[in-house]
Amino acid sequence: MIHAMYIQDALDELRSQGEIVRPEDVERLSPLVFHHINLQGKYHFTLPEEIAQGHHRPLCDPNTAQEEL
């Protein structure tokens, strides 16, 4: 669910920058393409207070090099 919210944030950001976001492209997006998601298990972690209150983290700048998680 969390990944889906950030996918929506990214789509909103693209649209706000004037990019054309085609429905057929959005239909192919899925948060389940992440290899680290275990569909058979449960996850327990502590969220930062800001995130726990429903705020989203800022999106990464795609032009800035990021280390892989």
- 3-class secondary structure per residue, 14-29: HHHCCCCCCHHHHCCC
Mean of pLDDT values over 7-15: 92
Mean of pLDDT values over 24-42: 72
pLDDT beyond 70 at 8: yes
pLDDT beyond 80 at 26: yes
Mean of pLDDT values over 17-22: 94
Confidence at residue 69, expressed as pLDDT on a 0 to 100 scale: 45
Look up residue 29 and give its two tokens: 């997006």
Q: The dihedral of CA 69, 63, 27, 56: what is its sign?
A: positive
Which of 44, 48, 46, 66 shows the shortest CA–CA distance to 57? Answer: 48
Confidence at residue 39, expressed as pLDDT on a 0 to 100 scale: 64
CA–CA dist 59, 17 (Å, integer): 14
